[in-house]
Amino acid sequence: MVEFMVNAAVVIAMVVVMEGVAYLTHRYVMHGPVGWGWHRSHHEETEGTFERNDLYAVVFMVLSGVLIAVGLAGVWPLRQMGIGLMVYGVLYFIVHDGLVHQRWPFRYMPRRGYAKRLVQAHKLHHAVEGRDGCVSFGFLYASKPAALKARLKSSGALAQRGAEPRGRGGRVQSPARP
Ligand SMILES: [Zn+2]
Ligand SMILES: [Zn+2]
């Protein structure tokens, strides 16, 4: 029982740590000179179901698989860490690809509560066109939308391009895809 509790705690801790890793990766790698090549596709309208940015998800999926495999071979607690990474991936998909970008076959928009705040915060991430001046790099934790808007306003990132969110963030309002 104690062993199970410890292992469960490792999984949960990994989910929390991954939000930090995702924030840092998104902010400094994906929006940096090294990672923008893949991430750019996510900030522009693209043809087809997949975008180059999805390769980041593939990388983390492979990493999760490797951790689980090495963990199963006997290295504790890599299996639990791999499972935590996988759980984070599922939560990321639900919030980011599902709730925000509606990449699933049904329509559901959270109208209140923390889920709505996450959606609004990520739409504000897409409010600025291009690599620089963006806000809100996290996925499962986000500042209040009002605070993010204030930051955008004071940085002037939106001023030259109009105040309304554009690009992929606006996709949610467009009719369902065929
Ligand atoms: Zn981004
Ligand atoms: Zn996005």
Q: What is the pLDDT of residues 48-98, one digit of tens each?
A: 999 999 999 999 999 999 999 999 999 999 999 999 999 999 999 999 999
Please give the average per-residue pLDDT across 136-154, as a whole number.
97
Q: How far is the CA of 11 from the centre of ligand 1 (A)?
A: 26
Quote the percentage of the chain above a pLDDT of 70. 89
What spacing in Å lies between the alpha carbon of 9 and ligand 2's midpoint?
Answer: 29
pTM: 0.88
- Gap between the Cα atoms of 45 and 153, Å rounded: 24
Distance CA 17, CA 153 (A): 30
Distance (Å) from CA 79 to ligand 2 centroid? 29
